[in-house]
Amino acid sequence: METTKNITLIPFDPKYAKDFADLNVAWLEKYFVVEPHDVELLERCEETIINKGGHIFFAKSGSTIAGTFALIKIKEGVYELGKMAVSPKFQGQRIGQQLMSFCLDFAKDQNWTKVILYSNTILENAIHIYKKYGFVEIELEKDSPYQRSNIKMELIL
């Protein structure tokens, strides 16, 4: 657990599954559309992420969930950073960067070898943050799990 600027980072709890879905749906609907793969991950996050060896974390401010992200297991030691979202009420407070920093510390503590992510270049602020944390662009496979993705990045740990 880590606390910065009244934000506490906590692991998944089923009582926050709806917050996980709601934060991500709001973000997706603002910039893109909710795709079938999103629905599967968001509506059944315990089954599709947690029970398959993945992790979900939340940024909590008081009793309010301010942000979230998931680490989705791809294979042993390789995880996809996905479903990162910050509530509009909390944007501009560097919560996304706190989530990213926590995420990478967690991945290193687990002795993972690589974290990947899918994004879209219209999200300039997000891409800037990913690069700041050391992610580099790699080739995007033709059968990417997300239609909206036009960039794939990785960080070798």
Cα gap 45→47, rounded to integer Å: 5
User: What's the whole-number mean pLDDT along residues 86-103?
Assistant: 93
**Is the pLDDT score of 39 beyond 60?**
yes
In terms of Cα–Cα distance, which of 41, 40, 43 is closest to 18?
43
Q: What is the pLDDT of residues 112-141, one digit of tens each?
A: 999 999 999 999 988 999 999 999 999 999
What separation in angstroms does the CA of 23 have from each of 66, 69, 81? 9, 10, 16
Q: What is the pTM of this model?
A: 0.93
Q: Which residue segments constitute the domains of the chain, with CATH numbers given? A: 2-156 (3.40.630.30)
